[in-house]
Structure 1
Amino acid sequence: MPLEVVSFQLISRILDVTDRLGLNREWVEIPLSPESPGQVRKLPNGKLEIIVDADQPFEDWLGTLEQQIRRTQAT
C-alpha cells in the first residue's frame, strides 16, 4: 500500500538519522507528501531535502537513508 502522507512519527524517525549524522535540523527539509521515487538532494539554498519514497516500505527506505545522505553530501 503506497504511503500517502509523511506523519510526525515518520519525520521523527528521519530526524533521528539526521541527528546521528550531526546535521542541523534547520538545514533539513522533509516534505509531507511522499513521491515515487523518493530522493535526497541539495537545494539551491544549501539545505538538504529528504523526500520519502511513496511506494517502498518505509522501514526499507529508512534503512538506506544514511547512505543516501552521505552520497548527496559527497557531491
Structure 2
Amino acid sequence: MALTAVTLKEIERIFEILDRLGISREAVVIPLKPVHPGGVRVLANGKLEIRVESETPLDDWLPDLERQIGALIGGE
C-alpha cells in the first residue's frame, strides 16, 4: 500500500538511522509528502533532504536509505 503522508512513525524510524550514523537531526530536512523514488540529497545549505519513498514498504526501504546517507557523508 502506497504511503500518502510522512508521519511521526516514519520520522522516528529515520531518526534511528541518523542517530546510528552520528548525524544531528538539525542537519536534516524531511518533507511530509512521500515521493517515488525516495532518496536523499545534499541541499545548498548543507543539510540532507530525505525524501521518503512512497511505493516501497518502509522496512524494505530504510536499509537502502542508510546506504545512501552513508555514501553521501563518506561512510561508504
Q: What is the TM-score normalised by the length of structure 1?
A: 0.92
1:21-74 CA deviation, whole Å, 9 max, x = no partner?
Answer: 000111111111000100100000000011111111111001212101011223
Q: Distance in 2 between matches of 1:40 and 1:25?
A: 14
Q: Distance in 1 between matches of 2:52 and 2:59?
A: 11
Q: Report the aligned-residue RMSD.
A: 0.9
Structure 1 unaligned residues grouped into runs of 5+: none
Structure 1 stretches of 4+ with a deviation exceeding 6 A read: none
Shift of 1:16: 0.6
Q: Distance in 1 between matches of 2:54 and 2:9?
A: 16
Structure 2 unaligned residues grouped into runs of 5+: none
Q: What is the TM-score normalised by the length of structure 2?
A: 0.91
Aligned runs of 1:1-75 on 2, under 5 Å? 1-74=1-74
Contact 2:27/2:47 (<8 A) preserved: yes
Identity of aligned residues (%): 50
Contact 2:39/2:65 (<8 A) preserved: no
